[in-house]
């Protein structure tokens, strides 16, 4: 189960990143979701990697810290949507890890 979840999540994360870089859905209603779902998938993958390498569980908050630093560095603001999507991704990742 873990393997399937991580493979599907990584695939969807990659597709999301490619859509962001190519701006394929630029100026469409899907643009919001493409940009923020990347944070969601990235947080899930990060949780799985943290668990796989047996790192401290405190590192689960790293995706949120990365989102805070990145948004502050790029636009001197805090993108709350990225933080919300990252937090939800961490929650889903932890639930999936504990479920297996």
Q: Are 63 and 90 in contact (CB under 8 A)?
A: yes
Provide the residue range defining the domain that includes 52: 2-99
- Whether residue 9 has pLDDT greater than 90: yes
Question: Which pLDDT does position 43 carry in this prediction?
Answer: 96
> What's the total number of domains in the chain?
1
Give 64-99 pLDDT, tens digit per residue.
999 999 999 999 999 999 999 999 999 999 999 988
- Whether residue 63 has pLDDT greater than 90: yes
Q: For residues 47-60, give the mean pLDDT.
A: 95
Q: Are 47 and 72 in contact (CB under 8 A)?
A: no
Q: What is the pTM of this model?
A: 0.90
Query: DSSP of the chain, one letter per residue?
Result: -HHHHHHHHHHHHHHHHHHHHHTTTTTSTHHHHHHHHHHHHHHHHHHHHHHHTT--GGGGGHHHHHHHHHHHHHHSS--HHHHHHHHHHHHHHHHHHHH-
Task: State the pLDDT confidence band at 5, using cuts at 50, 70 and 90.
Answer: confident
**C-alpha to C-alpha distance for 83 and 28, rounded to whole angstroms:** 22
């Amino acid at each position: 189960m873990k393997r399937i979840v991580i493979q599907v999540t990584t695939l969807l994360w990659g597709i999301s990143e490619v859509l962001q870089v190519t701006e394929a859905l630029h100026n469409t209603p899907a643009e919001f979701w493409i940009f923020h779902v990347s944070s969601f998938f990235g947080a899930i993958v990060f949780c799985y990697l943290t668990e796989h390498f047996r790192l401290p569980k405190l590192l689960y908050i790293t995706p949120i810290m990365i989102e805070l630093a990145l948004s502050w560095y790029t636009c001197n603001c805090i993108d709350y949507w990225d933080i919300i999507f990252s937090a939800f991704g961490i929650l889903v990742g932890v639930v999936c890890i504990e479920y297996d």
